[in-house]
Amino acid sequence: MMENAQIKPAEGLDLYERMLRIRLLSEHILEVYRDDVMETPVHLTLGQEAVAVGVCAHLRDEDVLSLGHRTHAGALAKGLPLKSLLAELYGRSTGCSGSYGGSMHVYDPEHGIHGSSAIVGGNIALGVGAALSFKLQSKEGVAVSMFGDGACDAGVFWESMNYAALAGLPVLFLLEDNQLSNVMPKSKHLYPDPRAIAANFMPTYFADGTDAISVFLSAKEAISEIRRTGRPAFLHCPTKRWMKHQGVEEEDLPFIHIDREKDCPIQKLESFLLGARMATPGELKQVRAHLEEELEAAIHYARQSPYPPVQALEV
Amino acid sequence: MPWSRFEKQWSIQEEGRILSYKDALREAIDQAMCLDPKVFAIGLDADDCYGVYGSMLNLSHPERVLGTPISENAMTGVALGAALTGMRPIHIHMRVDFLPVAMDQITNYVSKWKAMFGGKPKVPLVIRAVVGRGWGCGAQHSQTLHGMFAHLPGLSVVTPATPRDAKGLLLQAIALDEPVLFLEHRWLYKNEGAVPEEMYTIPLGKGQYLRRGDSLTIVAPSLAAIHSLQACEEHDLDVDLIDPRTIKPLDRELILDSVRRTGRLLVVDYDSPVCGFASEVLALVAEEAPEALLAGAQKMTFPDVPMPASGVLERRYYPDPDRIAAKAKAMISRVKGEGALV
Ligand SMILES: Cc1ncc(C[n+]2csc(CCOP(=O)(O)OP(=O)(O)O)c2C)c(N)n1
Ligand SMILES: [Mg+2]
């Protein structure tokens, strides 16, 4: 489903760069995590990069992204500087949350990230609140509430959609559906099709969450509809989680089938860009080299940064 | 997060069959289920391969362990509804931090149901939740909250520190016809101690001495009790150490007797300081035995800020045996009469 007419080469390369940045961060975490240099539980986004990147390509800095516990892809895609995220993971005071948040709690209001939450579901409402704020202040702006299939179990999912529809708010409900809640398959925790539920409240869109172009095109439609009408929309992106729910071990659930060649959003985009002659192998290599440098510098920055002073906790 | 790294920290030296805290909980649930077909467990991920850190694995009645969606508030109501109509549910949560999602049901329904209908309903509901910090988990995955829940009239709050108490108190909680919040500290899961094989109950509201001494009373629940014991043993402190075992009901007499003898009180509470358990114990002594406090009464708690994620801050945030020992020594060295309340 790769209709190249609708995406410009620069846009394609931008998707590529953002996804690869996230991927390289994950790979760095895999490399060092077992040495305990990052004392924080990580929920990796390996294999899921396309969802956040395809959506955030249509957002401006002032648009809001409300995230849950699985933060890395969304935060970087929205513009959180890599070095701030790395410093947070390394527990340093220069981290995006001053080291008080860790992997699950990222903060970067300049890029529309007003904090993320590790209690499943609640962040959906915060995105709706940001949309209400845009409306009350007559500001242009779209809020995106990003959540997993597990969050659809929670009452706050329904309540948030209901209010957003009643009040007419510019918010995108972005379902990053890896079909898992920890080790539970979706069939065990969620009875209805969430998109069918959402369709009672708002227009719904669908994309292949392992395919950045697919997400990019559906998100473009959904977000321009939100900007045009000021009303909510829902985007469902089935995707695949490569790793265990949390930590650095590969997923090994018997009912999960992952083909790292076919399911890889980055490889998919690479072959698309090359096949459509939207990029040359040299250009892609250049992007990678530039990102590797950026990562090296960010690691250096994080590791050189001071730990926070413990005096802050003296009573 | 390397859960496996929470190595066994301490074992209570006692005669008898040795069991871990986790296995003591498991045995209590297994025996309760075998005894009474109405006992069942329900909870998010209670039925998965990790089995709430092992306490739900290899049960005789796995068919009575029900998983749930991520719907804590509704599921608390479901458990309450089942309890009111003949079942004895044990609602399980991997972290106490998920209970605030169910605060409506706990505050307005579970804790009120008995009193609101003239004491007539039976409410045989146990809510189990794991408390305590992890590893850079930050503010939303590291809370204790026993003080907050104890604030609610109608809800008992149980905080076992030893494997023996974990089993006896859990069996008691399941046997009762009133709601009990049962809070297990994750750092205690691997600790070992003597646990009788047969079924037995420990009544709520009965504390115990973990050590006897004359110079200072320490009151400490849950992990704080074990850390205080460690502090006393490693530093050979002359301390009367009381583990209240239940936050509510509270064994007031045990605490008052001890303080009247030692004249000094330290409450070590791994929870927030304001309007909490530590303040409650200090208030108890101020009300009932102010003349006994010859050399001051103090509390040692978390600072009044949410838990930070960075390891250096997290370690500072939680008191530990060395800091407890330092505080206890400083209090003991104070001459009686200084800092007395009256
Ligand atoms: C209210 C609440 N209950 C339970 C948990 C424990 N928990 C953390 S993530 C998670 C699964 C969430 O699944 P989903 O929403 O699909 O997100 P994913 O991890 O798949 O990205 C669970 C059950 C929690 N954080 N919050
Ligand atoms: Mg999921």
Radius of gyration of chain A (CA): 19
Query: Do B228 and B190 meet the contact criterion of CB atoms below 8 Å apart?
Result: no
Q: Does B308 touch chain A (CB under 8 A)?
A: yes
The CB density around residue A197, as the number of other CB atoms within 10 Å, is 16
Q: Is A55 a residue whose pLDDT tops 70?
A: yes
> How many domains, in total, are found in chain B?
2
User: What is the distance between the terminal CA atoms of chain B, rounded to a whole angstrom?
Assistant: 50
Domain CATH number, residue B142:
3.40.50.970
Q: What is the largest CA-CA distance in chain B?
A: 62
Q: Does B318 touch chain A (CB under 8 A)?
A: no
A9 preceded by a cis bond (ω within 30 of 0): no
What tokens appear for A215 in the block? 């997400």
Which of B44, B47, B76, B312 should be substituted to probe chain A, the one whose Cβ sees the most A Cβ atoms within 10 Å? B312
pLDDT in tens, chain B (342 residues): 454 455 556 667 788 999 999 999 999 999 999 999 999 999 999 999 999 999 999 999 999 999 999 999 999 999 999 999 999 999 999 999 999 999 999 999 999 999 999 999 999 999 999 999 889 999 999 999 999 999 999 999 999 999 999 999 999 999 999 999 999 999 999 999 999 999 999 999 999 999 999 999 999 999 999 999 999 999 999 999 999 999 999 999 999 999 999 999 999 999 999 999 999 999 999 999 998 887 789 999 999 999 999 999 999 999 999 999 999 999 999 876 555 443
Output the pLDDT for position B8: 56
Considering the domain boundaries, does residue B201 fall inside one?
no
Mean pLDDT on A109-120: 98
Paired residues of A180 in beta bridges: A185
Clarify whether residues B184 and B253 are in a common domain. Answer: no
Which of A33, A36, A40, A120 should be substituted to probe chain B, the one whose Cβ sees the most B Cβ atoms within 10 Å? A40
DSSP run (H or E) holding B215 = none
Angle between helices A9-32 and A265-275 (to 10 degrees): 150
Residue B248 structural domain: 208-333
Out of B169, B194, B219, pick the residue that ends a domain.
Answer: B194
Considering the domain boundaries, does residue B253 fall inside one?
yes
Pairing state between β A204-206 and A233-238: parallel
Clarify whether residues B184 and B80 are in a common domain. Answer: yes
Taking an 8 Å cut-off on Cβ atoms, the answer to whether A99 and B309 are in contact is yes
**In 3-state terms, what secondary structure has residue B15?**
coil
Considering the domain boundaries, does residue B278 fall inside one?
yes
Clarify whether residues B148 and B69 are in a common domain. Answer: yes
Taking an 8 Å cut-off on Cβ atoms, the answer to whether A41 and B311 are in contact is no
Considering the domain boundaries, does residue B202 fall inside one?
no
**In 3-state terms, what secondary structure has residue A235?**
strand
Query: Do B78 and B42 meet the contact criterion of CB atoms below 8 Å apart?
Result: yes
Clarify whether residues B142 and B214 are in a common domain. Answer: no
Taking an 8 Å cut-off on Cβ atoms, the answer to whether A100 and B67 are in contact is no
Considering the domain boundaries, does residue B171 fall inside one?
yes
Nearest atom (ligand 1) to Cα of A245: 19
What's the DSSP call for residue A258?
A: -
Query: Do A177 and A237 meet the contact criterion of CB atoms below 8 Å apart?
Result: yes
Is pTM beyond 0.90 here? yes
Rounded to whole angstroms, how far apart are CA atoms B166 and B27? 10
User: What is the distance between the terminal CA atoms of chain A, rounded to a whole angstrom?
Assistant: 60
| Pocket residues: Cβ below 6 A from ligand 1 | A 69-70, 118-120, 147-151, 178, 180-182, 245; B 44, 70, 72, 98, 101
Considering the domain boundaries, does residue B135 fall inside one?
yes
All structural domains of chain A: 9-314 (3.40.50.970)
pLDDT tens digit string along A189-238? 999 999 999 999 999 999 999 999 999 999 999 999 999 999 999 999 99
What tokens appear for B151 in the block? 């604030």
Considering the domain boundaries, does residue B340 fall inside one?
no
Clarify whether residues B152 and B289 are in a common domain. Answer: no
